[in-house]
Structure 1
């Protein structure tokens, strides 16, 4: 079993295509397919089901991919440690993030990081917190910014709290709550609501808020982005509960503070087994002190 075979298998699984995997790995498709076939022959199992439109990972493939990613990450970490011992940080840094993110100035951090460590290849992508946590566990991401409390992290991950963010209600202009000084979860539950989809950190937080208040709410619409959520509320399709920093930037709706809604926690998470030199160098740019709870 060779490292390139592991890399090819991971690429096929993540792209769902031998063609796209070959492009990612900078090899011809025939060579990649040959190596995957050799690997399957050595293992005695099929890792992928080949279809006319898409390649699917088999149950055996799912079992294989986790350790394969761990092996590749260990090799990358070993390479990075060796280079870093000479005073230079190299390699790759894969960052995941929720959106929007106001706890840190991510573009400014990335600019500073690139200036200090130009030899590191940085990639950035946004997703739901549920997916980001899994990607860090699977070594698809080196670290991720998520809105989840420290006690909510699964085994294998560690984190550092960066901010506690208040939440605010958003309502259409002219809504009875638009002129209120404050509102409560129970009052919001009297209205139809718009929220982010399950799997997002803010949705999990909001569900817990209304459960704690003993209020049953109806989520009429689920929005994939905060921009769409704002537009749905602006058209009178429901009210929302979003981070106050996000609400302050929304011009199509009116925001109202809440009295009984606890803040959400935004933190950076990485593998408990250790961060690569490239990831450690990025973490060094983040505040180390625990933020005060509002």
Structure 2
């Protein structure tokens, strides 16, 4: 069993499509499929369901990929730590993040990194996810924490998921949905929506979910931060859509609204985005620490 095979298995599980998984790894689809078949032969177990799209995991595959994900991250962290010792993590490090990702938590992460590597000169830029990815591609950011749709392919950058979260509906306390314990996405179509701005990962997730439904919806209010979405929803201006972790955080902060789970909810993912070929020692050290913080 090789580390490369573990990476391939994790990529196929994340992207649920052999072409997309191969594209994310910058390898030929045939090579990816051959390596995974060799892995299954070696294990004597079928990991992926055959002949369906999106690709699914067998029970054995679920267990294997969960462990493989930890192994890949541990290997990446070990390599980054070794690189940091080989070349002292000094110099500039430009970090980007969308507002308040659930994991890794940016303020605590930056404080820990600065404590460990005081000679690195760190800067932070908070922005919507789409611009952050472009800045990583152009080399203006070393690492970015962005929101994406599950399985989304980000061209010309390396990335891995750190957190997955179901999208939930946020409504005022007097809204008819406030008494519900759950709602279907299709039931929300007639509502007026409060959603992320078009450049956010959240908006990409919700737009795709309604596109799959084959329906249009009215997004009247757009905001880039969860607090504004929750406040607008709490004032009865529409149905807000937020990752559930963010919605519940706003409730704890005192927002007067109700969080309603969505059945078969679209999934919002947090990813670390970087370019492995151009990471400096501070960048590698940051990526290793961010990976550990993401695993909690």
Kindly indicate whether residue 94 of structure 2 is the aligned counterpart of residue 94 of structure 1.
yes
CA RMSD of aligned residues (A): 2.2
Paired residue total? 209
Shift of 1:150: 7.3
User: Contact conserved, 2:170 with 2:239, CA < 8 A, in 1?
Assistant: yes
Deviations 1:235-260 (A, max 9, x none): 21110111001111222211001112
Name the CA distance, whole Å, in 2 between partners of 1:213 and 1:258: 14
TM-score (norm 1): 0.66
Kindly indicate whether residue 254 of structure 2 is the aligned counterpart of residue 277 of structure 1.
no
Q: Which has the larger radius of gyration?
A: 1
Shift of 1:154: 3.6
Structure 2: 5+ residue stretches without partners: 1-82
Structure 1: 5+ residue stretches without partners: 1-82
Name the CA distance, whole Å, in 2 between partners of 1:236 and 1:262: 23
Aligned to 2:184: 184
Stretch of structure 1 that moved more, 126-135 or 220-229: 220-229
Deviations 1:195-241 (A, max 9, x none): 11111110110001111223321111112322222222122111011
Deviations 1:25-49 (A, max 9, x none): xxxxxxxxxxxxxxxxxxxxxxxxx
What secondary structure sits across from 2:263 in the alignment? coil
Whose RCO is larger (CA < 8 A, sep 6+)? 2
Name the CA distance, whole Å, in 2 between partners of 1:154 and 1:207: 17
> Which one has the bigger helix percentage?
2
Aligned to 2:194: 194
TM-score (norm 2): 0.66
Spell out structure 1 runs of 4+ moving beyond 4 A. Answer: 83-87, 288-291
Aligned to 2:132: 132
User: Contact conserved, 2:95 with 2:143, CA < 8 A, in 1?
Assistant: yes
Deviations 1:234-287 (A, max 9, x none): 221110111001111222211001112132111100014231110100111133
